[in-house]
Structure 1
Amino acid sequence: MPETVLERIERADVQHQGLYGGEIGVFGTVAAVCTDPSLPINSALGFGRDLSNLSAVEAFYEVRHLPSRVIVYAHGQALDPLHERGYRLTLQLNVYLCLLPRASRPSPGPPPSGVQVRPAQPLEFAEVSTLGFGASSRAILERTSQRPNTALYLAEQNGQPIGAGALSVFGDVALFFSTATVPVFRSVGAQTALLARRLDDAQAAHATLATVMTTAGSPSERNVRRAGFELAGSRLSFERRPSSLPAGSSEREQ
């Protein structure tokens, strides 16, 4: 069966999660990532249409005293095995894609007035994106800023940092992520400018599609739609708590 666009995105996401470092358990096409327990990126993904590796993933996290968190792309497969094993849905993101080269997609429009985007240094990326996401996100954003194969960006208005974002390219798939706007500068066009710059850079890196994930109904979703992205499917996060994890303990997913 030919690989679908959503399967291409899922395969790139597996590589993307692996860049955070730590231990990686490989079970067929599935990669189970285990980093610092305090970071919200301990999860297994790459299941495709086959959930038969759940037992191996659960054992991997059980011995590390972590919840078994799995990420499933909505390929139309039955999710009954997850429900039967006690998993609960913790997060649903809409997956958007934009085909490249530029001629094949709508223009995101002119850059917002006074907003410019430039490459960011790791420290300034972490500082500005933390202002957008909140102080509790500092650790994961610092980890993001130190990843290999990750381009960091800063949006500025009249020299004032107002937003940040990141880009990684895996083969011909470009992932846009960790996009944040400083709260007092929301609605001035930071995200639109960051999207436009990363679309240009993704095309220059020979990507044939770009993808970004958003919460349904959010301002971010409206922005990516206006930039020419189209809905490709859903990315679902499920979690099952091991018996060894005390009640009330959990990780926050970003």
Structure 2
Amino acid sequence: MHMHYRTGTETIEIAARRHFFAAAPDGFGCTIIDLPGTSATLLSVLAMPSPTMNRVAGLPGGQPLADETLAQIRQFFRQRGIPRFWLHAWNTPDSAVLHDSLLAHGCTRRGAWGQFELVLAGLLPPAAASSLNIRLATAEEYGLAGQILSDSFGMPLLTPWMAGLAGRPAWQVFFACDENGTPVATGTLLIDGVQAWLGMGGTLTAARGRGAQQALLAARLAAAKSAGCVMASVEAEAAEPGESSTSLNNILRAGFRQVGTRQNYLCDS
């Protein structure tokens, strides 16, 4: 995996988080900090204290994590009352020294996330057949998209957060609707210049297995290409060895190429 891809997809991801954090309700305590002296970015959501929402991405792989940098990170989360957080490290040979230093600091491995890209210059794969109808959500429906995500993942704060995307033109929210026109799945697209990021995909339990996310991926990619984007990026939880992941399969069928995997390290503050 080339450095270009590692920085490219991660840069899009961080840009998407900046946009998303800007839309959060004031009381959520969303913070993004570029750590001084490093290439890393710290992300934190006080209202959602899980490591998924409190983490550090972009640590340079070719060097150990400095004691003073880790102390700074730990102090930040500790002062916010966040007990544990993630540090990300790319699973590449040139990042071995970073992995070793994180283990030496007492951090533990906790799964991994794959990052994927799709160059939009060529023909996009045809959308898979689905009985669901795909449409854009209106701004007034963004809270409904958040409710679908909340029901899908057990994260109720996503309902007001998604509602906050209304009036922000960089965002597009899509629905997959059943035969009655009722939204049963959602997916979000961020257009940031010529880069696109796909995220916030969720499907209600009763509608799973009907190709909703595959259809939503195709619709968002078509919208990104129409908007002049040249590359799209998405991330998803990596499957454990010997296991299969519906999300990963959907992403690959949509035409994405995996460009790397980031290991999550769980650290105490």
Normalised to the residue count of structure 1, the TM-score between the two structures is: 0.82
Matches within 5 A, 1:101-250: 101-103=121-123, 105=124, 107-120=125-138, 121-133=141-153, 136-147=154-165, 148=168, 149-158=170-179, 159-215=181-237, 216=239, 217-242=244-269
Partner residue of 1:25? 33
> 2: distance between equivalents of 1:71 and 1:119?
33
Specify the code of the residue in structure 1 equivalent to 2:90. Y
Q: Cα–Cα, structure 1 residues 231 and 26, in superposed 2: closer, same or farther, change >3 Å?
A: closer
CA contact 2:218–2:254 (8 Å) conserved in 1? yes
> 1: distance between equivalents of 2:17 and 2:130?
32
Q: Cα–Cα, structure 1 residues 83 and 108, in superposed 2: closer, same or farther, change >3 Å?
A: farther
- From 61, 70, 74, the equivalent of 1:58 is 74
Moved more, 149-158 or 51-60: 51-60
The secondary structure found in structure 1 opposite 2:156 is helix
Tell me how many residue pairs correspond in the alignment. 237
The secondary structure found in structure 2 opposite 1:197 is helix
> 1: distance between equivalents of 2:88 and 2:161?
20
Q: Is 1:71 paired with 2:80?
A: no
Identity of aligned residues (%): 20
Partner residue of 2:27? none
Deviation at 1:87, TM superposition (A): 0.8
* More helix as a share of residues: 2
Moved more, 107-116 or 150-159: 107-116
Deviation at 1:110, TM superposition (A): 4.7
Partner residue of 2:108? 88
Deviation at 1:157, TM superposition (A): 2.2
Q: Cα–Cα, structure 1 residues 166 and 95, in superposed 2: closer, same or farther, change >3 Å?
A: same
Give unmatched runs, 5+ long, in structure 2. Answer: 23-29
> 2: distance between equivalents of 1:123 and 1:109?
27
> 2: distance between equivalents of 1:114 and 1:7?
36
Cα deviation 1:117-169 (Å, max 9, x = unaligned): 32252211112222322xx3121353244245432211112212120111223
CA contact 2:176–2:185 (8 Å) conserved in 1? yes
> 1: distance between equivalents of 2:87 and 2:163?
24
Q: Cα–Cα, structure 1 residues 72 and 201, in superposed 2: closer, same or farther, change >3 Å?
A: farther
Specify the code of the residue in structure 2 equivalent to 1:56. Q
Cα deviation 1:174-215 (Å, max 9, x = unaligned): 221111111111111111110011101111232222122223
Deviation at 1:9, TM superposition (A): 0.7
> 1: distance between equivalents of 2:228 and 2:249?
26
Normalised to the residue count of structure 2, the TM-score between the two structures is: 0.78
Moved more, 91-100 or 108-117: 108-117
Cα deviation 1:101-123 (Å, max 9, x = unaligned): 242x4x13354234223225221
Specify the code of the residue in structure 1 equivalent to 2:115. V
